[in-house]
Structure 1
Amino acid sequence: MSVDSFSISSTWIHKFGEALQSRDIDATISCIHPRGYFRDILVFSWNNRCLHGHKKLATYLTNGLAKASVTDVKLESRPGLTPEYGPLTDKLPLRAVSAGFIFSCAIGIGRGYFTLVSTDLGEWKALVVMMALADIRGHEEIQHEEGVYGGHTLAWSDVFSERRRAIETNPHVLIIGGGQTGLNVAARFKQMNITALVVEKNERIGVLYQPYPTSWPVFTPRDKMADWLEQYVRSQDLIVWTNSRPLPHPIYDSSTKRWTVVIDRAGKCVTLNPVHIVVAAGNLGAPRIPVIRDTEVFTGTTLHCSEYQGGKPFAGKRVIVVGAGNTAADLCQDLVFHGAQSVTMVQRSATWIAAATSARMMFDRMYPEELEIDVCDLMAMARPLKLMMKIEKETAEQTLEEEKATHQGLREAGFNLATKKSFLTLWYERSGGFWLDVGCAELIRSGKVKVKQGAEIARFKNRSAVFTDGSSLDADTVVYATSYENITDTMRPVFGDEAIDRVGPVWGLDEEGELRGCYRPTGHPGLWFAAGEFAVSRPFSKQLVSAKFENFPPRFLEMIYHLVLGIEDKGD
């Protein structure tokens, strides 16, 4: 079949752009497939929304289309975003025409992406349209500095010391968490000229705004990641306090629109008054450690996976790893490599597993090396999660067939494989319950890692663990790879019940398939949450800047922008 993707895209974008510019809801909807998805990131409302079907979209545009004032809609010309015809996914026969586009709106410029499919009548309609605010007019992202200060009379060390002093004294935003998410947000804010201070409870800080080197490993070792994050702080000129944490309870003043928060900075109390607090400790909070009877009588060692520093200390030891997710698999593999006498994985429920080669192929398709990272992020944003989950469900049997060789040995060893839920569902529902196999499956198959399935540790004896099925295992060490609390549970003692109850759930998906509580208004003024993997934190760290605006009439927008971006030191 011969398809002129450029002609199809040009015709569609002209019709779609005219409909938006004329503020014609019916004409806009006519460009969308009846079962299509329309994803809006801060263009038609100050939130992240995904509308499925014409009826919901019509209701949504009734309130937002005129106010958005979309004009100048035209196709993108950057590599990777020009019109292209191909399969919707590598596992479905459905083929589509996709392209990026740019536009202007009431407060700035935007970028979008669409995927068109042919209807039974031969018309090309959008299965997916995504529109996102890219820059606020007059407050665009800074690309780079000249590097010459005070007419070439000031040394960089003096310039940076003064900037550090100003931020440490009066940050506009306080970011809690110095991992990849917190640093992404901090770097993005810096480029938007918003002063931000990061506080990290550990001695060391946790890709980011700055891309990885081309030689970077696909599956990054933990220590290498830590080294990278530390140099990232230096190269991006971020201000980070380690050994620092907020003390209970920050107070928000609705009249001044500022927080009063006391930071324990390595034992010294420092009071700050930021306008916003961003909790960027990911969706995972404090370590989740199961409560088990008679722990005190166990003469061996117990530790959570967050305390695990490598397998060398456990050479010759009998080790039980509680959990069967990605972390548990990595630990078991590391323990075998370092000569543990025995390694047993305790699996309570089923686990979804795919070979690392399959994951690598998926990552390479989504993030090919020849394309700029922001182009790939834009296309990733244009994949509504509800649609991706539906596709994942429809192609589940094909996926299981592809993983047959990996799964066979696991089943023979008594491992319980998850087949009814997909990777995306497990990730957004549980933040776990899966692993990408880089060798542990073969260790289980060969018996080097044993599996204790369908039971939990009920209590301890002197040198053993007793399970709920009455059996027991001798052990010198028990490692809990039992994940972490939800971040709101961990933050509740810090911010208090009233504040966290207003925030509601953080992580998981709402009914539209958008992340709950992350990079969007939380219900509490001045309190925000950032979470997710690199592909989420990179693009949405910028959306978080814009998401801080209130839904004011256009005549007030300029004043609001000045206040929010800290040009004037007044309120929100």
Structure 2
Amino acid sequence: MDIELQRDPQPLVQDWLSDLNAALEARDLSRLAALFRPDADWRDIVALTGSIETVSDRAAITGRLVEAVAAAGARNFAIDTERSPPRDVERAGEACVESILTFTTAVGTGAGVVRLKRADCRAGEAMAWTLLTSLESLHGHDEETVLAHAEEPAFDRDFHGPNWLDRRQESSRYADRDPTVLIVGGGHAGITAAARLKALGVDALIVDRMARIGDNWRKRYHGLKLHNQKHSNHFPYLPFPKTWPKYIPKDKIANWLESYVETMEIDFWTGTSFTGATWDAGERRWTVELDMDVAGGVHRTLHPRHIVMATSVSGTPNIPEIPSLERFEGTVVHSSRFASGADWKGRPVYVFGTGTSAHDIAQDLHGNGAHVTLVQRSPTLIVNVEPGAQLYDGIYYGKGPTLEDRDLVNASMPLRVMKKAHRILTDQARAHDAPLLDALERVGFRLEFGEDGTGWPLKYRSRGGGYYFNVGASDLVAKGEIGLIQYDDIADFTATGFTMKDGSDRAADLIVLATGYKGQDHLVEQLFGTEIARKVGAIWGFDERTQELRNMWIPTAQPGLWFQGGSFAQCRIYSKYLALQILAAEIHRD
């Protein structure tokens, strides 16, 4: 075997870092270029560029990295000896050495990940395939320092004055101050953002229109569970108990949100509707209008300097224009308002859509004895919940690095490497699922497997849906126990159902529109007006220039307006960077 292939990961990385530091200090572009593969990717999360962006290919990386390092005052790139050591791994089908790094900048400390392909080490001059640089903390404002300053003296007792609970309740009323940050939306996105901000000493208040914390999960359809396992879904600071089931039921999630808010001492106003806000450029703050559903109704006006929209990437029901549906005299309900199939036993029901909600609702209806049929509007990605759907979360399974290290490795995957990895995983999932997929196609179900065969995770990042993790509904469709028709075969709706293009009539008592949700773009125009919506632009989905999700977790073109959303893992990971940027803005406000 080639001697270079036998070298331990540690010295390989150390040699590469020594050359990196020297090249950056000398601003030697040619020497720096030699340290990266021609097809390398560098992803930065706030640390050097002040944003989240990915730069691809050697020539582009070299120039941008030298400029960014100089501007950020970055130096002393080294192996982080406090975290997982350099190791051999396989990423996107490639044997690599992967190492977690540390470095410093003018404003804080950074964390990074470098990957060297083992195949490139034969010549003894390793080249980086991928590099991540991310902001870890701000000087003097790390979480441990903030906590130490916030702690009360151990024996500070005032038996006749307000105790901890009194102070906590009084503080959460915001009677004598405005929150620095107002978070709109009290699901996992808003709560993780608030937890991160509190840990950094930034005053944040969540407002949510639901009557009880967790109701955005508690009030969803009866049989709902998470479709990926708990290992990837933990919250910051407080992981789920080991005794919890792999797939967490909705009510357990709802109760967890409620207990987490209490445990983390997060300020949260329930029954509170955010009705709009205007920006005062001179004062650099918002004027926010809130309606609170308490006895008699209360209106509050607040003046936060930052608003974080955490209303989910799929928060507003999408009810499409369906020609002639108004003729139908039966019940029509969007999936967000569907509770249970118990009332529809023995009755004909049609569920429009073939994504996750559509299949789950159809399975619920079938289990309750309804005669249910799916109406397919577009091709859909189907993958068995095990093992196929879980393959993409493989980094979170098994013994090994801490959750924080796994999150950093997860964040270190640039888009085109992620696509390569996901094509491999999608091919594996399709091979596992071939019998089911063949059976679905035989009954006329139209399948697809994501852009260029990259599977469900990138569909979620692009459009927020369009797939189903099979937990039984697809088997019922394949066997004909849940019916299937194509939307394009419907001619017109009638008072009692609809007529097909072949002339046959279909009776229906209930139509469920599992037609997805509108993105956050919709709410921005509704709540902030057309001018701000136009200034901010599109939210979610990939920006071709930066190769990142648009307007997520970074400053937008509208000062003081931020967006947080995504999966449990995305919110856990990126809430950290969101909070750090808001803290930095506050530190430098004056």
TM-score, with length taken from structure 2: 0.87
Q: Is 1:176 aligned to residue 179 of structure 2?
A: no
Tell me: CA distance 1:530–1:395, structure 2 relative to 1, closer, same or farther (3 Å). closer
Q: 1:446 aligns with which of 476, 479, 502?
A: 479
Q: Which residue identity lines up with residue 437 of structure 1 in the other structure? A: N
| CA offsets 1:15-60 (integer angstroms, 9 cap, x no match) | 2233344544443333221101001111222101110012222332
Give 1:262-301 correspondences, 5 Å limit. 262-266=289-293, 267-301=297-331
Tell me: CA distance 1:420–1:270, structure 2 relative to 1, closer, same or farther (3 Å). closer
Structure 1 Cα separation of the partners of residues 478 and 171 of structure 2: 57
**Contact 2:27–2:66 under 8 Å retained in 1:** no
Listed as ranges, the gaps of 5+ residues in structure 2 are: 217-233
Tell me: CA distance 1:533–1:457, structure 2 relative to 1, closer, same or farther (3 Å). farther
Equivalent residue number for residue 352 of structure 1: 381
Tell me: CA distance 1:160–1:288, structure 2 relative to 1, closer, same or farther (3 Å). same
Q: 2:283 aligns with which of 256, 269, 273?
A: 256
Tell me: CA distance 1:217–1:98, structure 2 relative to 1, closer, same or farther (3 Å). same
Structure 2 Cα separation of the partners of residues 167 and 472 of structure 1: 62
Q: Which residue identity lines up with residue 205 of structure 2 in the other structure? A: L
Q: 2:557 aligns with which of 523, 536, 545?
A: 523
Q: Using the TM superposition, give the Cα deviation of residue 66 of structure 1 relative to its aligned residue in structure 2, in angstroms.
A: 1.0
Following TM superposition, where does structure 1 have runs of at least 4 consecutive aligned residues deviating by more than 6 angstroms? none
Structure 2 Cα separation of the partners of residues 217 and 148 of structure 1: 40
Structure 1 Cα separation of the partners of residues 176 and 241 of structure 2: 31
Equivalent residue number for residue 125 of structure 1: 127
Give 1:25-44 correspondences, 5 Å limit. 25-44=29-48
SS in 2 for 1:334: helix
Q: Is 1:141 aligned to residue 143 of structure 2?
A: yes
Listed as ranges, the gaps of 5+ residues in structure 1 are: 550-556, 565-569
Equivalent residue number for residue 441 of structure 2: 411
Q: Is 1:309 aligned to residue 339 of structure 2?
A: yes
Of 466-475 and 251-260, the range deviating more from structure 2: 466-475
Q: Which residue identity lines up with residue 53 of structure 1 in the other structure? A: D
Equivalent residue number for residue 152 of structure 1: 157
Q: Using the TM superposition, give the Cα deviation of residue 149 of structure 1 relative to its aligned residue in structure 2, in angstroms.
A: 7.0
**Contact 1:261–1:271 under 8 Å retained in 2:** yes
Q: Using the TM superposition, give the Cα deviation of residue 416 of structure 1 relative to its aligned residue in structure 2, in angstroms.
A: 0.8
**Contact 1:380–1:535 under 8 Å retained in 2:** no
Q: Is 1:376 aligned to residue 391 of structure 2?
A: no
Structure 2 Cα separation of the partners of residues 12 and 140 of structure 1: 29
Q: Using the TM superposition, give the Cα deviation of residue 373 of structure 1 relative to its aligned residue in structure 2, in angstroms.
A: 1.8
Tell me: CA distance 1:224–1:465, structure 2 relative to 1, closer, same or farther (3 Å). farther
Equivalent residue number for residue 480 of structure 1: 513
Q: Is 1:327 aligned to residue 357 of structure 2?
A: yes
Q: Which residue identity lines up with residue 173 of structure 1 in the other structure? A: V
Percent identity, aligned pairs only, is 31
Tell me: CA distance 1:365–1:59, structure 2 relative to 1, closer, same or farther (3 Å). closer
| CA offsets 1:400-449 (integer angstroms, 9 cap, x no match) | 32321221221122111104633244222221111111111211122111
Tell me: CA distance 1:286–1:458, structure 2 relative to 1, closer, same or farther (3 Å). farther
Structure 1 Cα separation of the partners of residues 176 and 380 of structure 2: 45
Tell me: CA distance 1:146–1:251, structure 2 relative to 1, closer, same or farther (3 Å). closer
| CA offsets 1:463-499 (integer angstroms, 9 cap, x no match) | 2134567654221111111111111112312100001
TM-score, with length taken from structure 1: 0.90
Equivalent residue number for residue 219 of structure 2: none
**Contact 1:455–1:467 under 8 Å retained in 2:** no
Structure 2 Cα separation of the partners of residues 468 and 456 of structure 1: 6
Q: Using the TM superposition, give the Cα deviation of residue 398 of structure 1 relative to its aligned residue in structure 2, in angstroms.
A: 4.5
Tell me: CA distance 1:300–1:5, structure 2 relative to 1, closer, same or farther (3 Å). same
SS in 1 for 2:372: strand
Q: Using the TM superposition, give the Cα deviation of residue 455 of structure 1 relative to its aligned residue in structure 2, in angstroms.
A: 2.2
Q: Using the TM superposition, give the Cα deviation of residue 307 of structure 1 relative to its aligned residue in structure 2, in angstroms.
A: 0.8
Equivalent residue number for residue 224 of structure 1: 252
The RMSD of aligned alpha carbons is: 2.4
Structure 1 Cα separation of the partners of residues 489 and 553 of structure 2: 37
Structure 1 Cα separation of the partners of residues 320 and 552 of structure 2: 27
Q: Which residue identity lines up with residue 278 of structure 2 in the other structure? A: I
Q: Is 1:212 aligned to residue 240 of structure 2?
A: yes
Equivalent residue number for residue 553 of structure 1: none
Structure 2 Cα separation of the partners of residues 407 and 273 of structure 1: 54
Q: Which residue identity lines up with residue 385 of structure 1 in the other structure? A: L
Q: Is 1:241 aligned to residue 269 of structure 2?
A: yes
Tell me: CA distance 1:168–1:32, structure 2 relative to 1, closer, same or farther (3 Å). farther
Structure 2 Cα separation of the partners of residues 456 and 244 of structure 1: 44
Q: Which residue identity lines up with residue 548 of structure 2 in the other structure? A: E
Equivalent residue number for residue 67 of structure 1: 71
Tell me: CA distance 1:12–1:456, structure 2 relative to 1, closer, same or farther (3 Å). farther
Q: Which residue identity lines up with residue 376 of structure 1 in the other structure? A: R
Q: Using the TM superposition, give the Cα deviation of residue 218 of structure 1 relative to its aligned residue in structure 2, in angstroms.
A: 3.0
Q: Which residue identity lines up with residue 128 of structure 2 in the other structure? A: A
| CA offsets 1:521-547 (integer angstroms, 9 cap, x no match) | 210011111111122111211111233
Q: 1:336 aligns with which of 366, 372, 388?
A: 366
Tell me: CA distance 1:187–1:459, structure 2 relative to 1, closer, same or farther (3 Å). farther
Tell me: CA distance 1:463–1:412, structure 2 relative to 1, closer, same or farther (3 Å). same
Q: 2:576 aligns with which of 526, 539, 542?
A: 542
Equivalent residue number for residue 87 of structure 2: 84
Q: Using the TM superposition, give the Cα deviation of residue 134 of structure 1 relative to its aligned residue in structure 2, in angstroms.
A: 0.5
Aligned length: 550
Structure 1 Cα separation of the partners of residues 487 and 430 of structure 2: 22
**Contact 1:211–1:373 under 8 Å retained in 2:** no
Of 410-419 and 455-464, the range deviating more from structure 2: 455-464
Q: Is 1:48 aligned to residue 81 of structure 2?
A: no
Of 513-522 and 220-229, the range deviating more from structure 2: 220-229
SS in 1 for 2:543: coil
| CA offsets 1:162-220 (integer angstroms, 9 cap, x no match) | 33134884100111111110111011111111111111122233332222112233332
Q: Using the TM superposition, give the Cα deviation of residue 73 of structure 1 relative to its aligned residue in structure 2, in angstroms.
A: 2.2
Structure 2 Cα separation of the partners of residues 315 and 123 of structure 1: 69
Q: Which residue identity lines up with residue 127 of structure 1 in the other structure? A: W
**Contact 2:395–2:410 under 8 Å retained in 1:** no
Structure 2 Cα separation of the partners of residues 491 and 67 of structure 1: 33
**Contact 2:48–2:74 under 8 Å retained in 1:** no
SS in 2 for 1:15: helix
